[in-house]
A and B are shown apart, each in its own frame.
Chain A
Amino acid sequence: MTAATAHKRSRTDALKPYRLVLAVAALYGVAAINSPERAWGAALVAAKTFASVAPIIIAVFAGLGLVQVFVDKQALARHLGDRAGLPALLIAAAAGTILVGPVFVVFPLLKTMRDHGVSWAIITTALTAWAVKLPMVPLEVTFLGWRFSIARMALTLIASVAMGSLMGRLMREKPEAIMPAADSDTA
């Protein structure tokens, strides 16, 4: 069946979302067999929720495009390199919040910075502040409310600075002495 072919291609990230769609469709199939009217009810809830937030989702992604093109990631990276101490962490936190992009763009970017001598503390702070997801806020507010969104962002920012200084300390010893280098086979 399709499961076998899906498994064979499990490494290709591009297909992942479609596997999820198939899985959910299968769940609906099972639900429809057991209780057609409740399955129909679930589909209705799904459609209504989606329809109510569709304009916001579209607006968020239009904004994401603007940030992606108009925020110069390389310049952002340069700014982080030439400072130290708490001010550096605060700047890293600020930079992290406006950083936009998928894992496979952000990880290598920060790795490049690390290779240019930027401290682990700053890398961790930027990476953690990246979780603030500022461009997604309209969506978060719609589902969870202003108070939730603001509190979560503020606490994540605080955590980013705390994690940064902690990781800066933890990473100070020689990495090779404590743990072997990344096993290249795992990925």
Chain B
Amino acid sequence: MDPTGIVYLAVLGIAYAVYWRKSPAKSRKALGAGAISFAGILPTLIAVFGLVGLFDVFVPPALIERWMGSSSGVLSLVVGTGLGSIAAGPPAAAYPIAATLLKGGASTPAVAAFIVSWVLVGFVSLPMESKVFGVRFAVLRNGLSMLAAALIGLAMGVVL
């Protein structure tokens, strides 16, 4: 079994033990809140890991390389940003997909742009954002965020 998972669990166990002595009621509430978020995300995670398996076996690396490989340059950034913007889902689901893309030959900038746009840009939540903040803010923010995702991807390519 992976030791890092055990370490994280141990750290969280200690954190809960400390908070429990301070405030048992709030700690119980925290545990409940965590459990509810986890239960909410579990079906999505199952589906995503299922997808990762299919991806791993059925999608030829050549296809990923052609669209998101480093030799594709700007196209790979556009594809990464576009995929992340369309995809809607919890960030926890983005990481396994991103790792699969990397393994399949996608470039670091493309994968970084994919992750950043996944969490920052929401085509699906655009109607809700417009309703809360106004159409102007929602459109401007999502547009700028797509640009930011591509730029962050580029910068990641330079840094890493």
Interface residues of A (CB under 8 A from B): 16-18, 20-21, 23-25, 27-28, 31, 38-39, 41-47, 49-50, 52-66, 68-70, 103-104, 107-108, 110-111, 114, 120, 123-124, 127-128, 131, 133, 136, 138-140, 142-144, 147-148, 151-152, 155-156, 159, 162-163, 166-167, 170-171, 175, 178-184, 186-187
Whether B52 contacts A49 by the Cβ 8 Å rule is yes
Whether B116 contacts A55 by the Cβ 8 Å rule is no
Beyond contacts A107-B132, A182-B135: 10 other A-B pairs, Cβ-Cβ < 8 A, are A24-B54, A28-B50, A50-B46, A56-B4, A63-B15, A111-B132, A152-B152, A163-B141, A175-B137, A186-B127
Whether B102 contacts A144 by the Cβ 8 Å rule is yes
Whether B133 contacts A114 by the Cβ 8 Å rule is yes
Chain A: minimal CB distance from B25 (Å): 10
Report the contact-size class of chain B (Cβ under 8 Å from the partner).
35 or more
Whether B44 contacts A66 by the Cβ 8 Å rule is no
CA distance A186 to B53 in the complex (A): 36
Whether B133 contacts A49 by the Cβ 8 Å rule is no
Partner of A159, one of B15, B47, B151: B151
Measured between beta carbons, the chain B residues less than 8 angstroms from A38 are: 57-58
Known: A24-B51, A70-B26. Is A124-B160 also a contact (CB below 8 A)?
Answer: no
Main secondary structure of the interface of B (DSSP, over half): helix
Measured between beta carbons, the chain A residues less than 8 angstroms from B125 are: 103
Whether A59 contacts B12 by the Cβ 8 Å rule is yes
Whether B49 contacts A56 by the Cβ 8 Å rule is no
Measured between beta carbons, the chain A residues less than 8 angstroms from B112 are: 148, 151-152
CA distance A136 to B92 in the complex (A): 7
Partner of B5, one of A44, A59, A124: A59
Whether B47 contacts A44 by the Cβ 8 Å rule is no
Whether A65 contacts B32 by the Cβ 8 Å rule is yes
- Does B115 belong to the interface (CB within 8 Å)? yes
Residues of chain B from 8 to 67 with CB closer than 8 A to chain A in the complex: 8-9, 11-12, 15-16, 19, 26-27, 29-35, 37-38, 40-54, 56-58
Measured between beta carbons, the chain A residues less than 8 angstroms from B151 are: 159
